């Protein structure tokens, strides 16, 4: 596909959970979508920005092709190259697949995409851990083969984002795979059998921050943001003195809430330098209190200007590469229940998108 005149290849992670499915009806109540969490959110302290209310696109339903087209047009107009859809595959069962399935089948929007397999167990705690399990993630050689064959229509689509002619595919938890090299070899072998180039495979290091994914069969590593694991006490739900002191510095009197500053958090994440090459990413903001209430992690003081400064550094970090290799991921297009979205809201309007356009178009 013809590529926009941009400095970096900006790809935004895209959450498909904005339409009802029978499983969520059963687990969370009739009609549940991510908007259910977003709409019920309330401020936890003075100055806490909640709820996040969508602006241009409203409380959109991703079953509607008009919505998907409007999203693509908005993203394209602001210097993004495509969406990376989160892909949910559980031993042959797919969940939340309807928006992407219809994009694939219809040919619309005519807008680049890739998939990231979110290979983690679903639980009631929204953390991907083995507690209060809703949908278990399982693996087998047969499933690797079935999954690879399912992906061939994706890799063969002209809109699929490619690196050096190879269709791009990401896996969220590389070390959860019992045999990562078996999985990556299967994906490559099946692609060749179907007359397609080998896929360009990236492992995401959100849960294995020091892993060079090339050592387990991938072509590279995506340095994922946010790396919540570097934040002091991010898993501690009980009151602590350290949280009280940290929160007080941010003007909040609470020994329980987990509040962090955006710029300081990113500096801490970026201080964990890698001894191997990675593909960069940057997150827009973070506040998962709509999902986890008072146990959520709230990162405050993100703004379009502060985001723009970080994005500018990330764009410059890939400038020396050949353009085809200048992948830079933004987390996220529409993670509304995590306070992490480029999509316009009533507070910032198109501010984050305008920052992307200003910094990435030439």
User: Which residues make Cβ contacts (< 8 Å) with residue 223, sequence separation at least 6?
Assistant: 205, 274, 278, 279, 280, 281
In a domain, 36, yes or no: yes
CA dist 287 to 3, 11, 48, 266, 280, Å?
33, 21, 10, 14, 21
* 279 or 361: which leads in pLDDT: 279
Mean pLDDT of the chain: 96
Interval 167-174 mean pLDDT: 98
Burial class (CB in 10 A: 0-12, 13-18, 19+), 296: buried
Model pTM greater than 0.75? Answer: yes
In a domain, 53, yes or no: yes
In a domain, 4, yes or no: no
Interval 85-113 mean pLDDT: 98
| CATH number where 320 lies | 3.20.20.80
In a domain, 267, yes or no: yes
Q: Residue length, the chain? A: 362
Residue 128 has pLDDT above 80, yes or no: no
Interval 175-186 mean pLDDT: 98
User: Which residues make Cβ contacts (< 8 Å) with residue 64, sequence separation at least 6?
Assistant: none
In a domain, 1, yes or no: no
Interval 298-304 mean pLDDT: 98
Number of domains in the chain: 1
In a domain, 3, yes or no: no
Q: What is the DSSP letter of 307?
A: H
Domain hosting residue 187, numbered range: 9-360
**pLDDT band, very low/low/confident/very high, at 54 (cuts 50, 70, 90):** very high
In a domain, 240, yes or no: yes
Assigned token pair, 356:
């992307």
Residue 148 has pLDDT above 70, yes or no: yes
151-156 own/partner pairs: CB under 8 Å, 24+ apart? 151/115, 151/187, 151/190, 151/199, 152/190, 152/191, 152/194, 152/196, 153/104, 154/104, 154/115, 155/191, 155/194, 155/196, 155/199, 156/194, 156/196
Residue 127 has pLDDT above 70, yes or no: no
Q: Each residue of 25-42: pLDDT tens digit?
A: 999 999 999 999 999 999
In a domain, 310, yes or no: yes
Q: Each residue of 327-336: pLDDT tens digit?
A: 999 999 999 9
**pLDDT band, very low/low/confident/very high, at 297 (cuts 50, 70, 90):** very high
Q: What is the pLDDT of residue 182?
A: 98
């Amino acid at each position: 596909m013809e590529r926009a005149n941009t400095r970096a290849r900006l790809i935004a992670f895209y959450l498909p959970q904005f339409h009802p499915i029978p499983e969520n009806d059963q687990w969370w109540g009739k009609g549940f979508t991510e908007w259910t969490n977003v709409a019920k959110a309330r401020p936890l302290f003075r100055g806490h920005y909640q709820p996040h209310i969508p602006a241009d696109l409203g409380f959109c339903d991703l079953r509607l092709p008009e919505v998907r087209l409007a999203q693509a047009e908005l993203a394209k107009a602001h210097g993004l190259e495509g969406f990376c859809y989160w892909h949910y595959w559980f031993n042959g069962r797919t969940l939340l697949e309807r928006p992407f399935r219809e994009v694939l089948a219809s040919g619309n929007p005519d807008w680049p995409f890739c998939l990231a397999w979110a290979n983690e167990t679903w639980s009631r705690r929204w953390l991907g851990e083995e507690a209060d399990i809703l949908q278990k993630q399982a693996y087998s050689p047969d499933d690797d083969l079935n999954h690879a064959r399912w992906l061939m229509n994706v890799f063969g689509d002209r809109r699929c984002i490619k690196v050096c002619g190879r269709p791009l595919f990401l896996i969220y938890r590389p070390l959860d795979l019992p045999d990562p090299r078996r999985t990556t070899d299967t994906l490559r072998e099946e692609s060749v059998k179907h007359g397609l180039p080998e896929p360009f495979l990236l492992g995401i290091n959100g849960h294995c921050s020091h892993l060079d994914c090339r050592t387990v069969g991938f072509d590279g590593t995506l340095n994922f943001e946010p790396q919540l694991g570097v934040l002091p006490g991010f898993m501690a739900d009980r009151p602590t003195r350290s949280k009280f002191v940290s929160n007080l510095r941010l003007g909040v009197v609470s020994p329980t809430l987990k509040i962090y500053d955006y710029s300081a958090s990113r500096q801490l994440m970026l201080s964990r330098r890698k001894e191997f090459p990675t593909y960069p990413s940057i997150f827009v903001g973070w506040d998962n209190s709509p999902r986890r209430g008072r146990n959520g992690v709230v990162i405050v003081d993100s703004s379009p200007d502060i985001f723009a400064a970080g994005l500018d550094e990330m764009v410059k970090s890939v400038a020396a590469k050949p353009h085809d290799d200048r992948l830079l991921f933004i987390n996220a297009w529409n993670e509304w229940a995590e306070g992490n979205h480029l999509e316009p809201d009533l507070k910032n309007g198109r501010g984050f998108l305008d920052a992307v356009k200003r910094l990435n178009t030439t």
